Chain A
């Protein structure tokens, strides 16, 4: 049975010799939008844009029209996709962004077709395939116009009746704790491109909220040991270098492992390497899902949720993540309990004001990475929250 259908139709006309007029229409059960944009033929720069809503999901969706002009001046090429996603997609509407990116790709192809037709006048037997292979090998049809989905949701959960219900302790509010409170998950700029806060700001923020240490877990980035030592000394604060590594089974927080991994690493291979060096792995936000969705169709029992293969390769689960919803964190807690895996916590802070939302509180002070790893492996910690 058909459950969902989305159609995107884009057409490109050459109304003047120097410009391409691109019409786009996106239509599905949720959204109906249309855009018209004028691109310069030589640089594929957006000169004008206008749009219209036909169908939306919230009464405030039409506000996105005000943001369309953020795309004017942007050219199809390096950075086009990112710019459209970040400006129009994030501040306006990701479906407008989706359509505009498709239109940009169509404009690029239209220009290629025009170039081909010009070349064909001089070489009548030229085929588009030959033309593309010989002249436009460098043109990647979609390379700058792919669409990053920013849709996220919240998964529902259903406790399997066959599983003994265990009491999941909510993190205790952090008040005059005698423990050594550490945020085990945060991102700094520019080491993580998605972060907007510098490492020194993270440290100052952490001190302000009264926690005792942080672990820098930038995406696939290893902090140099000397830089870590410098930060510790300068701010008289515990700073440990960690990493958040992407595998085919999701993001993994890795501690005590110094290899600079680039790209996607198979989790089995990563596990072997981390074990060999005495490191520690935790599945980061394992149930963080897409925004908006999250109806009953994604109800998953704890037992079923526990079957995720990632859990076979980790020492712990991040059971409290500052960017996850309460339900997502709760499911992570229940799965950790069910699998008898340790549970750690972190803020996943990417900006000012987020650090310390959840912390992992060690029973003994952490002064060195060895102290940290020893207590992690021993499970000598509890979890607390800022609020």
Chain B
């Protein structure tokens, strides 16, 4: 394998979710690469999943639209994190801002809140290599939208074997 030339582009992006108090989570996004250093905090009321506040800071960026986007984040307050939030968020900010890195970071921060919930649920599963398949089958039966959403829950997988789930594949 050839040794890389001096050229290298690097990026780190992190999402962290912190519990502020019993009813509030803060999801923070940090992006640093050769063109951007931006941070964003989204404060979310639980269990309503409503966005209480959003703060952002741009240390540097090559696209001035990022600084403009900071001023438009207040339009996303009070939104509920749920399906379709990306579409709603992009529709609420002005068109030139809707494809900005900062709006993308907002989406990722919201995703962090959801993944935190997933993690909490996952911790309730037995912590061993041979988890009973039935646990996952019950999960799909309770929530048929899981079916065909990824390889693990599609035809041929043991997680859906024997389940009658042919409808409910899509929704918007």
Question: A164-191 toward B: CB 8 Å interface, digit per residue (1/0)?
Answer: 0000000000000000000000010000
Cβ-defined contact, A219 with B172, below 8 A? yes
Contacts of A300 in B (CB 8 A): 47-48
A251 at the interface (CB under 8 A from B): yes
A354 x B167 contact (CB < 8 A): yes
Asked whether any CB of chain B lies closer than 8 Å to the CB of A7, the reply is: yes
Q: Which residues of the other chain, A, contact B36 by a CB distance below 8 angstroms?
A: 141
Q: Which residues of A contact B133 (CB under 8 A)?
A: 59
**Contact segment of A42-50, A274-282, A285-293, A372-380:** A285-293
Chain B residue at minimal CB-CB distance from A287: B82
In the assembled complex, which residues on chain A have CB atoms less than 8 Å from the CB atom of B46?
297-298
Does B13 interact with chain A (Cβ within 8 Å)? yes
- Complex CA–CA separation, A195 to B4 (angstroms): 46
Query: Assuming the A-B contacts A91-B151, A288-B171, are A3 and B19 also in contact, with contact meaning beta carbons closer than 8 angstroms in the complex?
Result: yes
Q: By the criterion CB–CB under 8 Å, are B99 and A147 in contact?
A: no
Q: Would you call B53 an interface residue if the criterion is a C-beta within 8 Å of the partner chain's C-beta atoms? A: no
Docked-complex contact A264 and B9, CB < 8 angstroms: no
B contact residues around A249 at 8 Å (CB):
80
Taking the nearest CB of chain B, how far is it from the CB of A274, in angstroms?
19
On chain A, the residues within 8 Å of B1 by CB distance are: 15
Question: How distant is the Cα of A317 from the Cα of B15 in the complex, in angstroms?
Answer: 35
A187 vs B91: C-alpha distance in the bound complex, in angstroms?
21
Give the docked Cα–Cα distance between A187 and B172 (Å).
Answer: 9
Q: Does A162 touch B at the CB level, under 8 Å?
A: no
Q: What does DSSP make chain A's interface, helix, strand, loop or mixed? A: mixed
B91-110 residues at the A interface, CB under 8 angstroms: 91-92, 99-101, 103-104, 107-108, 110
> Could you tell me the distance between the alpha carbons of A371 and B107 in the complex, rounded to whole angstroms?
43
Contacts of A291 on B, CB cut-off 8 Å?
143, 145-146, 149
Chain A proximity of B101: nearest CB distance (Å): 5
- B residues within 8 A CB of A93? 150-152
Taking a contact as CB atoms under 8 Å apart, the answer to whether A6 and B47 are in contact is no
Say if the beta carbon of A229 comes within 8 Å of chain B: no
B101 touches A151 (CB 8 A): no
Q: A58-B159, A152-B83, A246-B88 are in contact. Are A64 and B150 (CB under 8 A)?
A: yes
State which size class the interface on B falls in: 35 or more
Residues of B near A327 (CB, < 8 A) are: 142
* Residue of chain A at shortest CB distance from B11: A10
Given contacts A149-B110, A264-B91, A325-B145, contact A60 B171 (CB under 8 A): no
CA distance A148 to B103 in the complex (A): 12
Interface size on A, residues (CB 8 A): 104
Which residues of A (99-153) have their CB < 8 Å from a CB of B? 102, 106, 109-110, 112-114, 117, 128-129, 132-133, 140-143, 146-153
Q: Which of A1, A148, A151, A353 has the largest count of B CB atoms less than 10 A from its CB?
A: A151
Per-residue B-contact encoding for A336-377, CB less than 8 Å = 1, 0 else: 000000000000101101100100000000000000000000
CB pair A94–B150 under 8 Å, yes or no, is yes
Q: How far is the CA of A3 from the CA of B123 in the complex (A)?
A: 12
Give the residues from 1 to 53 in chain B that come closer than 8 angstroms, CB to CB, to chain A.
1-2, 4-5, 7-19, 25, 33-36, 46-49
Residues in B neighbouring A133, C-beta threshold 8 A? 64
B48 touches A67 (CB 8 A): no
Question: Complex Cα distance A150/B92, Å?
Answer: 20
**Chain A hits for B114, CB < 8 A:** 149, 151, 153, 290, 293
A29 CB contacts on chain B under 8 angstroms: 119, 122
Judge if B120 is at the interface, Cβ distance under 8 Å: yes
Distance between Cα atoms of A89 and B152 in the complex (Å)? 12
Nearest Cβ distance between residue B120 and chain A, in whole angstroms? 5
Q: A4, B119: Cβ atoms under 8 Å? A: yes
Q: Is A211 an interface residue (CB 8 A)?
A: no
The answer for the CA separation of A329 and B116 in the assembled complex, in Å, is: 24
Please tell me if A9 contacts chain B, counting CB pairs below 8 Å: yes
B71 at the interface (CB under 8 A from A): no
Q: Is there contact, CB below 8 Å, between B122 and A30?
A: yes
Contacts of A264 in B (CB 8 A): 87-88, 91-92
- Cα of A263 to Cα of B94 in the assembled complex, Å: 11
B10 touches A350 (CB 8 A): no
Residue of B nearest to A187 (CB): B172
**A60→B135 CA distance, assembly (Å):** 13
A positions within 8 Å CB-CB of B:
1-16, 21, 28-30, 57-61, 63-64, 66-67, 89-94, 102, 106, 109-110, 112-114, 117, 128-129, 132-133, 140-143, 146-155, 187, 192, 194-196, 219, 244, 246-251, 263-264, 285, 288-295, 297-300, 304, 307-309, 322-323, 325-327, 348, 350-351, 353-354, 357
A-B contacts, 5 of them at CB < 8 A, read A3-B25, A90-B150, A152-B143, A187-B172, A219-B172
Which residues on B are within 8 Å of A, measured CB to CB? 1-2, 4-5, 7-19, 25, 33-36, 46-49, 62-64, 78-80, 82-84, 86-88, 91-92, 99-101, 103-104, 107-108, 110-112, 114-122, 124, 131, 133, 136, 139, 142-146, 148-154, 156-159, 166-172
5 interchain residue pairs of minimum CB distance: A264-B91, A293-B117, A110-B9, A143-B99, A4-B116
